[in-house]
A = this chain, B = another copy of it.
Amino acid sequence: MNPEPDYSAAYVIVRTGGGQEGHGLAFTVGRGNEIAVAAVESLAPLVTGRPVAEVLGDLGGVSRRLTADSQLRWLGPEKGVIHMAAGAVLNALWDLRARRAGKPLWLLLSELTPEEIVDVVDFRYLEDALTREDALAILRAAEPGRAERRARLLAEGYPAYTTTPGWLGYTDDKLARLAEEAVADGFRQIKLKVGADLSEDVRRVRLAREVVGPDVRIAVDANQAWNVGQAITWLAPLAEFDLYWIEEPTSPDDVLGHAAIRHRVAPIKVATGEHAHNRVMFKQFLQAGAIDILQLDAARVGGVNENIAILLLAAKFGTPVCPHAGGVGLCEMVQHLAMFDYVAVSGTAEDRVIEYIDHLHEHFTDPVVIRDGRYVAPARPGGGAEMRPASRAEYAYPNGPQWAANTVAGAAGAV
């Protein structure tokens, strides 16, 4: 489904008059990045020129202003480019707030009171599943254990799984070697891409199972390749290899389709969410019993604010959140949400794992650290999205040296 990604981002910096910065980004896979940039530019007037304290002190209000502007919302509402851009701006503001507080975002969020947390959430359209009072009850129940879990998180990190061995097109040798390395590195779950060729998938999953043994979880990811019937048919011959979850079996919009698939492929769990566009979709995935695993994404929905709503929904329904990552900066950003969830929302990391892909971390000022198959809790202030200035300069489109060098060879592919 994504055969030739050209990892890109609409990169947002909010600057105070005093020169402080907050960084956020909307991840894209190449063409179309310029549309996300246009959307960020259209949103900018809604936040620029206002007092910093007023903006950072009311990120719930700012979130509402960005997502409910009476004209811009027509382009969604709350979906697609305009919503991804709103999320990038909000993430940049949260990054700025965390930097000013001198804390990593996960810690900043984990030290807010339950009332401060619900104040940044837009409960509109959620109340049939989650009210403000429900959310407060969840957060208050988690309060007594915050300190203990924070200490444990700092000591032990947060569990991860790796997609590194599982890309389509790898030779069997490479798949086996990378799967073996993953287990040696401490990962207790790996993920393989599937959906291009069934007999290849059977062979690859069998091989992976032989290499990792019976105790390491194997998830598979179809990247929306199937309709409902195809998903059920395709998974049947793979079931014998004890799959843990099937990810994105069909259209990310198809709540009822996921529910039908889940009913038929159990005990294989159904996971989705990286393309679910807002909290109303997640609400329905949960209400319909359509998913076993909720995969939020740091750069698809309306930023930290909406992801807090999604974490609260998942906690209400008792559904584990296993965030999507990879791309550029998604690991760096999403770890903060999972760690906040552990400390202050769901209060558990059981059956929770953050995706990890060993790719492009060198471009970030605070790259993720993986130790024994676990994310080490970041200590530096901020939300994780800041790219190194040298990387930004090198890859800036269209005038960065990398683009200038490549344009000679292939102008048609240079967007």
Contacts and interface: CB of A to CB of B under 8 A. Distances in A.
Contacts of A78: 253
Contacts of A250: 125
A242 interface: no
A71 B4 contact: yes
A317 interface: no
Interface in A186-230: 224, 227-229
B71 A127 contact: no
Contacts of A50: none
Interface residues of A, number: 62
Contact of A227 (B6, B81, B124): B124
A61 interface: no
B80 A82 contact: yes
Contacts of A227: 124-128
Interface in A275-297: 275, 277-278, 280-281, 283-284, 287-288
A28 B75 contact: yes
A229 B123 CA distance: 13
A29 B78 CA distance: 15
Contacts of A70: 1-5, 29
Interface string A75-118: 11111111110000000000000000000000000000000000
Contacts of A228: 127-128
A325 interface: no
Looking at A70, A75, A127, A257, the one whose CB has the most chain B CB atoms below 10 A away is: A75
Contacts of A229: 127-128
A289 to B, nearest CB: 11
B38 A82 contact: no
A71 B254 contact: no
A367 interface: no
A28 B254 contact: no
B280 A35 contact: no
A71 B128 contact: no
B82 A31 contact: no
B260 A30 contact: no
Given A128-B228, A257-B125, A72 B281 contact: no
A124 B358 CA distance: 33
Contacts of A77: 224, 251-252, 275
A125 to B, nearest CB: 4
Contact of A80 (B31, B76, B283): B76
B71 A75 contact: no
A257 B284 CA distance: 8
A357 interface: no
B32 A82 contact: yes
Looking at A31, A36, A72, A275, the one whose CB has the most chain B CB atoms below 10 A away is: A31
A256 interface: yes
A42 B72 CA distance: 20
B6 A287 contact: no
A255 interface: yes
Contacts of A167: none
A253 B278 contact: yes
Q: 4 smallest A-B Cβ distances: which pairs?
A: A80-B80, A30-B71, A31-B71, A128-B228
28 contacts: A2-B70, A2-B74, A6-B71, A29-B74, A32-B42, A32-B72, A32-B74, A35-B81, A38-B38, A39-B81, A77-B224, A77-B251, A79-B277, A81-B81, A124-B251, A125-B251, A125-B253, A127-B229, A128-B227, A128-B229, A128-B260, A251-B280, A253-B277, A254-B280, A254-B283, A254-B284, A257-B280, A257-B284
Given A29-B74, A35-B42, A253-B284, 6 more contacts: A4-B71, A28-B71, A29-B70, A128-B227, A254-B283, A256-B288
